[in-house]
Structure 1
Amino acid sequence: MTTTASYTVTGMTCAHCVTSVTEEVSQLPGVTGVEVDLATGGLTLTSEQPVDEAAVRAAVEEAGYEVGGR
């Protein structure tokens, strides 16, 4: 079963930011796809099963950014 979750990432200002967030979130277990929209701060991830929101937040923070409202 495939699931999709959307978040808003704050603090991104360039393509490098997008790459950093994509790399960190992609490493989460079960994640099969990551899309980051710099203009809106949107983060959409696709996974084999629901991914723990705390793990997503931790991955985004590891990249140097924050998850805003969902």
Structure 2
Amino acid sequence: MPSLHVPKMSCGGCLNTVTRAIAALDPQARVRGDLEKRIVHVETKEPEAALLEALRAAGYPASPIEPALG
């Protein structure tokens, strides 16, 4: 499940836009957002690169968060 940092996501409207951008790519995707940390967790079969491009195109550039080891 990719986790992405979305620095420009600061409100519920932003999260809705991010969720719609991901749903346009994969209607079956499940998105959980953390507005405080500006992170989204996405359950999808789409590659991470496609998610990043969809968010960039929607005006919300994101970067992947590497899973913590340990």
TM-score normalized by structure 1? Answer: 0.75
Question: Partner of 2:2 in structure 1?
Answer: 5
Question: Partner of 1:25 in structure 2?
Answer: 22
How far did residue 36 of structure 1 move? 1.6
The structure in which a higher percent of residues are strand is 1
Q: 1:53 aligns with which of 32, 48, 53?
A: 48
Total equivalences in the alignment:
65
Measured against aligned partners, the alpha-carbon deviations of 1:4-58 in whole angstroms (never above 9, x if no partner) come to 22111111221111100000012223743111211111111112x3x22221111
Secondary structure of the residue aligned to 1:27 is helix
Provide the alpha-carbon RMSD of the alignment: 1.7
- Structure 2, unaligned runs of 5 or more: 66-70
**TM-aligned CA distance change 1:19 to 1:8, over 3 Å:** same
